[in-house]
Structure 1
Amino acid sequence: MPQLNPNPWLSMMLTAWLVLSLILQPKVLSFTSTNTPSHKTPTPAKATPWTWPWT
């Protein structure tokens, strides 16, 4: 059964996991958010009734 043979895919999976976790993750986490959250109080949404044209 080829699924049980870890030779072809195990090294690629470990290499990809190491690249993603050790190289790319710190680069992505170092970005700062350009849209900082504000502390405004939310305004209530105004609900307008829908007029159905067939009633």
Structure 2
Amino acid sequence: MPQLNPNPWLPIMMASWLILSLIIQPKLTTFISTNYPSKTPTTTKTTPWTWPWT
């Protein structure tokens, strides 16, 4: 049964994961900026809801 033979796809999968994790991922993470929290937290002032039947 050719489905159970890992020879053709296992080295390709391992090589692709190594390329992704060692070469491509560090280059991509330099472009992703993290959203740092601001030093002064902004608080919104909420007003209570006025129900018409009370």
Q: TM bucket by the smaller chain?
A: 0.5 to 0.7
Taking structure 2 as the reference length, the TM-score comes to: 0.57
Kindly tell me the number of residue pairs found equivalent between the two proteins: 51
Q: Percent identity?
A: 53
Q: How far off its partner does 1:7 sit? A: 1.1
**For the residues of structure 2 that align with 1:19 and 1:31, how far apart are their CA atoms?**
18
Specify the code of the residue in structure 1 equivalent to 2:23. I
Give the superposed CA RMSD. 3.0
Other-structure match for 1:7: 7
What 5-or-longer segments of structure 2 have no aligned partner?
A: none
**TM-score normalised to the size of structure 1?**
0.56
